[in-house]
Amino acid sequence: MGLFDIFKKKEQPKESHQSKVLLAMVIFGNGDRYELSSIIDNLKSSWNLDVTNLEGGNETAAFNLGDEVVAIAYMPAPIPDIEGAAQYAYNWPTASQDLKEHNGHALVTILSGKRTTLERFRHLSKVLYSILTTSNAIGVYQGSQSLLIPKDQYLDSAEELRTNGMPVNLWVYIGLRRSDAGDSVYTYGLTEFGKQEMEVIDSKMDLEDLYVFMGNICAYVIGSNVTFRSGETLGYTEEQKIKITSSKGRFVDGYSLKLEM
């Protein structure tokens, strides 16, 4: 039985064709930059993707991956306001120092399309991988998810992408907080998938266990296009009943789903 096979059945709504533009930035320093031809070759060789309708060059370019339109532009300037994300990038302890002298970035965009959000995020990640692996880039910044990921960590998720796994760490920031009342964990980025952000507040569980738990829940919600609602419960076993309530977020803006752990 799969990890979430025993969850109470949830409604799985059909995804709207009204999709958001997906945006990410690849960070460069020391005057380094990408080479468009190398990116295209890698998309074909590493991911077996069909690249068509290529226009432009190393400064700005656009092309199709199937029916998705990808745009890449080089910006010879630091990323504004990246310092705030660096302060919370516990996965990259030296981010503030490593990014202090960065002086350029690639703006990568997946334009609105008819594929599911999950499929479009997979395409985005594959394009980012191809830029990272063919250049001296430092890492990736995704402002809509408050994600700042060093190059090596991003490349470590390649196998999950190849096997249609769920590299949630590339798509959703999972925040961690400690306090005398207990440990808390929250998501930032589920709204990009049309889902409500989730939080566990002041839990007695170990923070590492909370992180793994929230990562598994995010993978389930995104991968199965599941929508939880206030008043429902979930659990790993028939006996476990984790109550879900919607209320004003503690660590996220607006309302969030609180999982009582």
In a domain, 7, yes or no: no
- Cα separation, 137 vs 122, in Å, equals 20
Q: What is the pLDDT of residue 18?
A: 53
36: Cβ contacts below 8 Å, ≥ 6 apart: 56, 57, 58, 61, 72
Q: Which CATH number goes with the domain that contains 32?
A: 3.30.1400
In a domain, 45, yes or no: yes
Q: What is the dihedral sign for C-alpha 116, 195, 22, 102?
A: negative
**Enclosing domain of residue 145:** 22-170
Q: What is the pLDDT of residue 11?
A: 43
152: Cβ contacts below 8 Å, ≥ 6 apart: none
| Final residue belonging to a domain, choices 170, 196, 229 | 170
Residue 222 main-chain phi, psi, to 5 deg: -75, -45
| Final residue belonging to a domain, choices 143, 170, 197 | 170
Tally the domains of the chain.
2
pLDDT in tens, the chain (261 residues): 233 332 333 444 444 445 789 999 999 999 999 999 999 999 999 999 999 999 999 999 999 999 999 999 999 999 998 999 999 999 999 999 999 999 999 999 999 888 999 999 999 999 999 999 999 999 999 999 999 999 999 999 999 999 999 999 999 999 999 999 999 999 999 999 999 999 999 999 999 999 999 999 999 999 999 999 999 999 877 788 999 999 999 999 999 999 998
- Cα separation, 179 vs 193, in Å, equals 30
In a domain, 1, yes or no: no
In a domain, 106, yes or no: yes
The SS3 of residue 135 is: coil
Residue 43 main-chain phi, psi, to 5 deg: -60, -35
Measure the CA angle with vertex 61, ends 60 and 67; round to 5°. 150
- Cα separation, 85 vs 92, in Å, equals 10
Q: What is the pLDDT of residue 244?
A: 97
- Cα separation, 125 vs 118, in Å, equals 11
| Final residue belonging to a domain, choices 148, 170, 192 | 170
In a domain, 8, yes or no: no
Q: What is the pLDDT of residue 212?
A: 96
Q: What is the pLDDT of residue 7?
A: 37
For residues 180 and 137, state if they share a domain: no
Q: Do residues 161 and 52 make contact, with C-beta atoms less than 8 angstroms apart? A: no
In a domain, 3, yes or no: no
The SS3 of residue 35 is: coil
How distant, in Å, are the alpha carbons of 154, 156, 259 from that of 7?
Answer: 31, 30, 14
Q: What is the pLDDT of residue 238?
A: 77
For residues 31 and 119, state if they share a domain: yes
For residues 162 and 195, state if they share a domain: no
Q: What is the pLDDT of residue 240?
A: 82
pTM of the model: 0.91
Q: What is the pLDDT of residue 209?
A: 95
With CA atoms as reference, report the closest residue to 145 among 96, 94, 193: 193
